[in-house]
Amino acid sequence: MLPASPTLDELLERLYVVSLPMRVRFRGIDVREVALIEGPCGWGEFGAFVEYGAAEAAHWLASGIEAAYRPSPAPVRDRIPINATVPAVDAARVPGVLARFPGARTAKVKVAEPGQTLADDVARVEAVRALVPVVRVDANGGWTVEEAASAARALTASGPLEYLEQPCATVPELAELRRLVDVPVAADESIRKASDPLRVVRERAADIAVVKVAPLGGVSRLLDVAAQIDIPIVVSSALDSAVGMTRGLLAAGCLPTLQHACGLGTGGLFVDDVADVAPPVDGFLPVGPVAPDPARLTGLAAAPARRDWWIERVRACYPLLGSLSVN
């Protein structure tokens, strides 16, 4: 069992489940549900997406417990450059989305959305490129190698891309694609959803590693993985609330070097959050803890049936914590 962990009863006693309405549909959802954990060292977040099974979600619970029950490491920088995040919206909606990321000079654009076409992706990227100088795209593993190669050509016809994030689903596909295109390839799911998160580096399947705190089991585990990766690191969020976002900012703040803007500005996608969060200043967000507003914990509280669902999920994940490699 993780050191300094609460008992299950202690964990459930200080668990708050909230529903955060979103400005635009993202990852197929309009409302983001997360469970917040209050502990002696602050607040943590358990926000594994609802489709994840207990074995995968347990890492997210470990991350929330780490935040609430363990002292945090000291960062080496106090602000983090962030990218704007553009969901798979129509090109006409791009200016409104980007307006919520003041000063951002990098934008990550979602592509390969089910039901959309490559032409839709190109139009969205072109609309972003007209307003932001550095553009990266994220396909969430949605392309075959052939589709990814074609998309890379189409999306760079009028300007460069910083990188293609998880263009294909598997490590062998990423390695093959790297040999076919000039655009750098970044790995996300091949790290955070893998039993061996370092395989993608050993097989030279990526130029950049995108890492997320909660799926890896916490800040300490992320920093341990990052220390074993010899390619640049981008810390990203998992559609975190204001509480969860502080852990990503802390992790980015603790990295020895940080060459790229991080995907830690997704708070702008929420209509309301559990705490007031300052907008980016000149494209940067500060490193520091956040405590939820008690009134918002009440006002954004999930329906009783959904709270019960999350409680049962914690019960399912809790016995798995002892088997996780997150120390």
Whether the predicted model's global pTM rises above the 0.75 cut? yes
Annotated binding site for Mg(2+), which residues? 138, 165, 188
pLDDT in tens, 108-132: 999 999 999 999 999 999 999 999 9
Q: How many CA atoms lie within 13 A of 187 on its CB side?
A: 30
pLDDT of 325: 54
CA distances from 158 to 122, 126, 130 (A): 10, 8, 11
Q: How confident is the model at residue 191 (pLDDT cuts 50, 70, 90)?
A: confident
**pLDDT of 195 over the 80 cut:** no
- Torsions phi, psi for 249 (to 5 deg): -65, -40
Coil, strand, or helix at residue 154? Answer: helix
Mean pLDDT along residues 103-108: 94
> Strands 164-165, 185-187: parallel, antiparallel or unpaired by DSSP?
parallel
pLDDT of 196: 79
| Alpha-carbon span 151 to 235, nearest angstrom | 25
Q: How confident is the model at residue 269 (pLDDT cuts 50, 70, 90)?
A: confident
pLDDT of 4: 61
| Alpha-carbon span 40 to 71, nearest angstrom | 9
Amino acid at 289: P
Catalytic site includes residue 212: yes
Catalytic site includes residue 110: yes
And the tokens for 188?
A: 């996300």
**pLDDT of 252 over the 70 cut:** yes
pLDDT of 194: 66
pLDDT in tens, 279-312: 888 999 999 999 999 999 999 999 999 999 999 9
**pLDDT of 42 over the 70 cut:** yes
Which residue of the set 178, 212, 247, 260 is catalytic?
212
Annotated binding site, which residues? 138, 165, 188
| Alpha-carbon span 70 to 21, nearest angstrom | 30
Buried b (16+ CB within 10 A) or exposed e, 48-67: bbeebebebbbbbbbbbbbb
pLDDT of 326: 43
Q: How confident is the model at residue 198 (pLDDT cuts 50, 70, 90)?
A: confident
| Alpha-carbon span 122 to 304, nearest angstrom | 43
Radius of gyration of the chain (CA): 19
pLDDT in tens, 66-83: 999 999 999 999 999 999
pLDDT, the chain, mean: 93
Mean pLDDT along residues 102-108: 93
And the tokens for 201?
A: 């580096």
Q: Where in the chain does DSSP place strands (E)? A: 15-26, 29-39, 42-46, 79-81, 84-86, 106-110, 134-138, 164-165, 185-187, 208-212, 233-236, 284-286
**pLDDT of 318 over the 90 cut:** yes
| Alpha-carbon span 79 to 31, nearest angstrom | 28
Q: How confident is the model at residue 3 (pLDDT cuts 50, 70, 90)?
A: very low
211, 192 contact by CB (below 8 A): yes
Q: What angle do CA 264, 265, 268 make, to 5 degrees?
A: 150
Which residue of the set 110, 192, 260, 313 is catalytic?
110
| Alpha-carbon span 193 to 217, nearest angstrom | 11
Mean pLDDT along residues 88-114: 94
